[in-house]
Amino acid sequence: MEKAENERKPSAVSDVGAWAMNVTSSVGIIMANKQLMSSSGFGFSFATTLTGFHFALTALVGMVSNATGLSASKHVPLWELLWFSLVANISIAAMNFSLMLNSVGFYQISKLSMIPVVCVMEWVLHSKHYSREVKASVMVVVVGVGICTVTDVKVNAKGFICACTAVFSTSLQQISIGSLQKKYAIGSFELLSKTAPIQAISLLIFGPFVDYFLSGRFITTYKMTYGAILCILLSCALAVFCNISQYLCIGRFSATSFQVLGHMKTVCVLTLGWLIFDSEMTFKNIAGMVLAVVGMVIYSWAVELEKQRKTKVTPHGKHSMTEDEIKLIKEGIEHMDLKDMELGNNKA
């Protein structure tokens, strides 16, 4: 009993570490990108190409780690890596197009819809079921974040298609991270180091054209400054931690839990925007954030409750054999070959 508790403690600490790394790096990268891309900052409006830079540095870190023996490289079929990278890149491009074609309000609603979409996809693909408490807590989080982020809601046909594509591909990508890790018994960082080079190459090739369609400018026309270069390097460094922690969190928990965590980041970004960038903070924003945080606390409790229920149904250790197991052993003895018995005696 004491041994099990001691094993659980380091696991809980590493779980909290994964969450903390993801929240800190994600909020940090949003703040860095805001400074880099805003007109009041460095005006670098090439989001898709910037994501290519992020994955290029992540791929480089993965290669160094494999070369120095810090991480092991396990086999994953190339077609699985290509398929996953395609879905991930579609997700990035569709998100950027959705933000360009839709109002900020509808963009936020599409992001909020990812939680129920992920839940439905996990149910369809993996037959995963959720308790009433988990469903209720997720609804509280969605409503809370919706109150503090959704303002004007305008939608058009092209924007709606892009938003649907973004939601579906992002949900599928996040579920696939966990599925591939379990299927090939591969660690989060090992999987990331295999997919990052493919994503980096494809985004650096096609990213500038996507950005040209979005902004009407090629990256070659941008005048680099030392400040912009430092900001890009900071964004890339934070992206490495953000990518690693994303794979860690989904591998340890689930795509649904990762989506709930994502809304915690939204609350942090709104708060930091008010503290650092002097953004407006209304009573509606505060009320929505409080409701979202309450929902996240309830979600944590509901997930823990669900784990306890499963533990009671399927206890960790069995102290007695079932009738079927005894029957199988008897049948095995009756049909055992005499030669096998003799060989066993000789060995003894």
- 330 Cα distance to chain centroid: 49
**Closest by Cα among 171, 166, 334 to 250:** 171
Output the CA–CA distances (angstroms, integers) from residue 182 to 179, 188, 224, 251, 253, in the order listed.
5, 10, 43, 8, 12
Per residue of the chain (348 residues), give pLDDT as tens. 444 444 444 455 577 777 788 888 888 887 888 889 888 789 898 989 999 999 999 999 989 988 887 777 778 899 999 999 999 999 988 888 887 787 766 777 777 778 788 888 888 887 877 788 788 888 888 787 777 766 666 767 888 888 889 889 988 988 888 888 888 888 888 888 899 999 999 999 999 999 998 888 899 999 999 999 999 999 999 999 988 888 888 777 766 777 777 667 677 767 777 776 666 677 777 887 788 778 777 877 777 777 777 676 555 444 444 444 444 445 554 444 444 444 444 444
Q: Are 115 and 260 in contact (CB under 8 A)?
A: yes
pLDDT at 342: 42
For 103, the token pair is: 């109002």
The 3-state secondary structure of 83-101 reads HHHHHHHHHHHHHHHHHHH
3-state SS track over 206-267: HHHHHHHHHHCCCHHHCCCCHHHHHHHHHHHHHHHHHHHHHHHHHHHCCHHHHHHHHHHHHH
Write down the pLDDT at residue 83.
94
Q: What is the pLDDT of residue 325?
A: 46
CB environment 167-204: b (16+ within 10 A), e (fewer): bbbbbbbbbbbbbbbeebebbbbbbbbbbbbbbbebbb
Cα 28 to Cα 73: distance, rounded to the nearest angstrom: 30
pLDDT the model gives residue 294: 83
252 exposure class (CB count in 10 Å sphere: 0-12, 13-18, 19+): middle
| This prediction's pTM | 0.71
What's residue 279's pLDDT? 65
